[in-house]
A and B are shown apart, each in its own frame.
Chain A
Amino acid sequence: MVGFLGANGAGKTTTLKMLCGLIYPSSGQVLVAGHQPQRRHPDFLRRITLVMGQKQQLIWDLPPMDSLRVNAAVYGIPDRVASRRIAELSDLLELGEELTRPVRKLSLGQRMKAELLAALLHEPEVLFLDEPTLGLDVNAQLRVRQFLAEYNRRTGATILLTSHYMADITALCPRVLLIHQGQLFHDGPLDRLTSRLAPERHVRLELEQPAPAEAFNGLGHLDSLENCEVNLRVDPASLTRVLAQILERFEVRDLEVNDPPIDQLIGELFRQGSL
């Protein structure tokens, strides 16, 4: 599973549309599962799916089951196989009688789950998911996330996921792509992105006695000092040495070493607009 990150307008959705063949590349070449997506060859279309947040393929006034029957016919899935897949996927997605109620009467979360079911009925090998949890409440987001992880485990499908919720990315994606101003800025594990964006570790101290700012000279960058609470940024290479010096110089009530939160880092990156 690959997380695809970028600021608003960076080109995430455009890239997804290009990868699934909705947009023709103005230059260069795109290859997905051995196909040129823009040709939209039926063999290619049977191997991919695209789920775009609030955009829906289910027929609004009919129960999702009717749209599923149409999809089964269009993808040439035999009735028996389609019924088995619907049962399996609806079990994973915790969908039951919702499949027989008109789509317009379903909640946003139920609709999204039914959309996912419709998009996965043909068991695609490559999934393009554009904001699949957009607008869902926390519980529904969690369920969709768990479903995607399980689907990926069961089928081994490739999943390319964009999301505004970093929790989706951190929970699901061992590999992350970050595009910035039209360029690929990062391709690799999330923790490596964190260390690229914020090479320093955050050290939070709670002291027994207040100390002056000068007392922290040579211990890294002092971010804040408020009574007994201190926040420092420290180079990872000298972290052990700095921690030893802190424990030697001060009476420490509590100590924490953290990476800065990834969503905060990326948020700052996008706000600044430059790297």
Chain B
Amino acid sequence: MRIFGLNRRIVRALLGSQYAHMLEYRAEIALWALSGVLPFIMLSLWSGSDARSQLGLDGVALDRYFLSAFLVRQFSVVWMVYAFEEDALLGRLSPYLLQPLHPLWRYVASHLGEQLTRLPFAAGIAGVFFLIQPQAFWIPSLGGFLLAWIATWMAFAIAFLLQSLIASLCFWSEKATALERLLFLPFLFLSGLLAPLTAFPPAVQAWVRWTPFPYLIDFPARVLSGDPVDLAAGFAAQLAWVGLLLPLVLVLWRAGVRRYSAMGA
């Protein structure tokens, strides 16, 4: 049986091939993992700042938050728009469009393959963090870990759909990555990567909660680090964003494909 064109065999074949593909780039992926240490830099900045008391997180909780932010980011990073733009410009998209499988599944599989390749490097970096900050060491409960895993996966789904929306614009503009850079700025400041959401004044926090950004890092990081957080509201918001973005992506994609002229072919 196929669900959205997928069945177990396709999932296995796609994930297997994409994992093997990403293993070919493991050195590069290790560097990407290493380049994601921004939360640790922010941790050291906040730890030495008088303003840390405004964050509502004590020393250990702050350590755990930024480590969790690092881990969530590692497993929700999306580069779909760059891969898609290249494929569209070089005409590689054409054979994918002519197969009875939605091309977006291939990009999902690429990301999951890359996350799997990234796993040991991210775990290694977390291990080094605990060596340096042994007081921050904790093992989440099984339930907490599962919830954090789901929240991270939902964060990945939102980020992927946001980029797919922008990538669909490649059908109209050949430089959709420029738009992605516009999205990166609010993501950087509002997602919780530079500071927990509680660093913002309450009015700003209330406004930011209406955007998808805090559900990309802040919410899953708090779930993982065990901070008290409104789980129902967080998951509901994540589901709502997925529910809003998914039909938009599908509609824009369909309209884009109508326009597509297999550039570069």
Contacts and interface: CB of A to CB of B under 8 A. Distances in A.
Interface of A: 13-14, 17, 20-24, 38, 40, 42, 45-46, 48-50, 52, 55-57, 59, 61-62, 66-67, 69-75, 119
B97 A40 contact: yes
B231 interface: no
B261 A17 contact: yes
A22 B94 contact: yes
Give the interface centre of B25, B96, B97, B264 by most chain A CB atoms within 10 Å. B97
Nearest to B12: A73
A184 B43 CA distance: 70
B13 A73 contact: yes
Contacts of B260: 22-23
A9 to B, nearest CB: 14
B94 A69 contact: no
A62 B23 CA distance: 10
Given A17-B261, A50-B94, A56-B92, A45 B17 contact: no
A193 B186 CA distance: 63
B100 interface: yes
B97 to A, nearest CB: 6
A23 B261 contact: yes
28 contacts: A14-B261, A20-B98, A21-B97, A23-B261, A40-B98, A45-B99, A49-B98, A50-B98, A52-B94, A52-B95, A52-B265, A55-B91, A55-B95, A55-B265, A57-B92, A57-B95, A59-B17, A61-B21, A62-B20, A62-B24, A66-B17, A71-B99, A73-B9, A73-B12, A73-B13, A74-B13, A74-B99, A75-B100
B78 interface: no
Contacts of B101: 74
B98 A48 contact: yes
Interface string B5-25: 100011011101100110011
Nearest to B262: A22
B181 interface: no
B109 to A, nearest CB: 9
Given A17-B265, A52-B91, A56-B92, A70 B17 contact: yes
B214 to A, nearest CB: 36
Contacts of B97: 21-22, 40
B148 to A, nearest CB: 31
A106 to B, nearest CB: 15
Interface residues of B, number: 29
A10 to B, nearest CB: 16
A69 B98 CA distance: 17
B26 to A, nearest CB: 11
Interface of B: 5, 9-10, 12-14, 16-17, 20-21, 24-25, 90-92, 94-101, 258, 260-262, 264-265
A255 B260 CA distance: 56
A57 B12 CA distance: 19
Contacts of A22: 94, 97-98, 260-262
Contact of A69 (B13, B21, B99, B262): B13
B99 A50 contact: no
Contacts of B98: 20-22, 40, 45, 48-50
Contact of A55 (B10, B14, B92, B258): B92
A57 B258 CA distance: 21
A62 B25 CA distance: 11
B262 A17 contact: yes
A16 B217 CA distance: 46
B100 A46 contact: yes
Nearest to B92: A55
Nearest to A20: B98
Give the interface centre of B14, B16, B17, B90 by most chain A CB atoms within 10 Å. B17
A198 B160 CA distance: 59
A73 B94 contact: no
Top-7 shortest CB links A-B: A57-B95, A73-B13, A42-B100, A61-B24, A66-B17, A73-B10, A45-B100
A46 B260 CA distance: 21
B134 to A, nearest CB: 40
Contacts of A20: 98
Nearest to B100: A42
Contacts of B12: 73
Given A14-B261, A62-B24, A73-B13, 18 more contacts: A17-B262, A22-B97, A22-B260, A23-B260, A23-B262, A24-B258, A49-B98, A50-B95, A55-B90, A55-B264, A57-B95, A59-B21, A61-B24, A69-B13, A69-B17, A73-B14, A75-B100, A119-B95
A73 B99 CA distance: 11
A74 B10 CA distance: 6
Nearest to A14: B261
